[in-house]
Amino acid sequence: MKKNEMNAEPALSEPHGGRSEEMRRAHSTEDRRVLRTRRALKDTLLTLMKEKSFDKITVKEICDRALTSRITFYNYYSDKYALLEEITEDMNDMLKADFEEREKKNTEHSASVSYMNMLDCFLDLHIRYEDILRNIDLQRNTLLLPGYYQFLAGNTAKIIEKSAGHFRPNYPTEKISALLVMGMYAYIHLSSTEHEDSEKTRRSAHSVLNDLIHSGLFTEQ
């Protein structure tokens, strides 16, 4: 072996920790880019849904408005219905967070307050997206219903079970939950399509729900 080869120092390798940090930063940057792109696509669809029926919106329109290629779109979503489904999942997360925040103030664990909290958080979400929801034909595009229904019906069933000591259900919990949720959903949706004032809708919806709670659906203990 040559002398200069024997005395040559081994090449320095980058410490493993440094490389990991560089990779972490690269992934973080990529994650932020992905989130921005997905957010832009969702915001664009929401904007378009204020302008026209969901049925008339195309993937090309969404991409053109969001300044995103169709290739990028299909990297994340199989079609516009998958994009709408993710939007409804975001709405459900908002419903959950809002309901949990309202329930923190319900220190006496009142069933009546819990029912009204559930109604109010749904009403607020509906008002926020009123122009959009009005442009969805729920008979043809049912993606919104399962998400809302699962969250609202699930929590309503929990309220019924927790309050059984005060309001004993006279019918199966799941059926009462379905009646309350779908009935109030239809009530609010019809009020919206009639362009009724939101606060008037809130007052009347509270009154209707209160009448239902104190009707023959339950026996007050």
Where does the pLDDT of residue 45 fall: very low under 50, low under 70, confident under 90, or very high at 90 and above?
very high
pTM attached to this predicted model: 0.73
Q: In Å, how far are 102, 111, 149, 179, 194 from 120, measured between CA atoms?
A: 9, 14, 15, 17, 19
Q: Buried b / exposed e across 32-58, counting CB within 10 Å, b at 16+? A: eeeeebbebbbebbeebbeeeebeebe
Whole-angstrom distance, CA of residue 80 vs CA of residue 66: 14
Look at 61 and 18; give whichever has higher pLDDT: 61
Query: What percent of the chain is modeled with pLDDT above 90?
Result: 37
Report the CATH superfamily, name and number, of domain 80-220: Tetracycline Repressor, domain 2 (1.10.357.10)
Structural class in CATH, domain 14-77: mainly alpha
pLDDT at 210 (0 to 100): 92
Measure Cα distances from 85 to 78, 90, 108, 125, 147 in Å: 11, 9, 36, 16, 8
Task: Kindly tell me if the per-residue pLDDT of 108 is higher than 70.
Answer: yes
Structural domain boundaries in the chain: 14-77, 80-220
- Coil vs helix vs strand at 220: strand
What local confidence, expressed as pLDDT, does residue 135 receive?
64
Partner residues linked to 218 by β-bridges? 169
Give pLDDT, residue 54. Answer: 85
Query: What count of other Cβ atoms lies within 10 Å of the Cβ of residue 143?
Result: 16
Confidence class for position 193, pLDDT limits 50, 70, 90:
confident
One DSSP character per residue, 75-124 reads HH-SSHHHHHHHHHHHHHHHHHHHHHHHHTT-TT--HHHHHHHHHHHHHH
| Residue 201: predicted pLDDT | 93
Higher pLDDT, 90 or 135: 90
Specify whether the CB–CB gap between 45 and 87 falls below 8 A: yes
**Structural tokens at position 208:** 């209707």
**Range in 48-62, 103-117, 119-133 with the lowest mean pLDDT:** 119-133
**Residue 10's pLDDT band (boundaries 50, 70, 90)?**
very low
Using DSSP's 3-state secondary structure scheme, residue 1 falls into coil
- pLDDT band at residue 16 under the 50/70/90 scheme: low
Report which residue type is found at 179: L
More confident residue, 16 or 186: 186
